Amino acid sequence: MSPPPPVDPEMFPKELKDGVIASILGGLAMTARLLLSQEPVSVGWVVRRVLAAAITAALVGYAIADHIESPGLRMGVVGAAGYAAPECLDYLMRYIKNKGDAEVGPAKKPHGKNKAPAKGKRKR
């Protein structure tokens, strides 16, 4: 039996390679942040943070691909996004929640505002 042929890196799309590189950079940035931290944490907490950083960095990498031409600067932004992933995700969750509340807000009736008067004259 012969060994399988080596994997040709050119057969993968550029977007996939960029996403994988951004995820690795984001995960490494979060790992560096956690290594510098003094607070004790569990292994599950570390894994969740590193995965969140990898996903955030990949999404940021895709979002800035057309806006930043310099590869070095783009990787710096991706690494910074991975390092600040908890803050980025907190901001994104607040933004989505506020947008959802703004859409749902007018449909709700406030309690006690639209009740008919129990006694007295009707307003015309």
User: Residue 34 falls within a domain, yes or no?
Assistant: yes
User: Residue 120 falls within a domain, yes or no?
Assistant: no
Count of domains forming the chain: 1
User: Residue 30 falls within a domain, yes or no?
Assistant: yes
User: What's the pLDDT at 118?
Assistant: 63
Integer Cα distance of 89 and 54 in angstroms = 12
User: What's the pLDDT at 121?
Assistant: 64
User: Residue 1 falls within a domain, yes or no?
Assistant: no
What are the backbone angles phi and psi of residue 78, rounded to the nearest 5°?
Answer: -65, -45
Domain that holds residue 97: 12-106
User: Residue 119 falls within a domain, yes or no?
Assistant: no
User: Residue 36 falls within a domain, yes or no?
Assistant: yes
User: Residue 31 falls within a domain, yes or no?
Assistant: yes
CB under 8 Å to 53, separation ≥6 — which residues? 26, 27, 29, 30, 82, 83, 85
| Distance of alpha carbon 94 from the chain centroid | 12
Tens digit of pLDDT per residue, the chain (124 long)?
788 888 877 888 888 888 888 888 888 888 888 888 888 888 998 898 899 899 888 888 888 888 888 888 988 998 898 889 888 888 888 999 998 888 776 655 556 555 555 666 666 6
- pTM across the whole model: 0.65
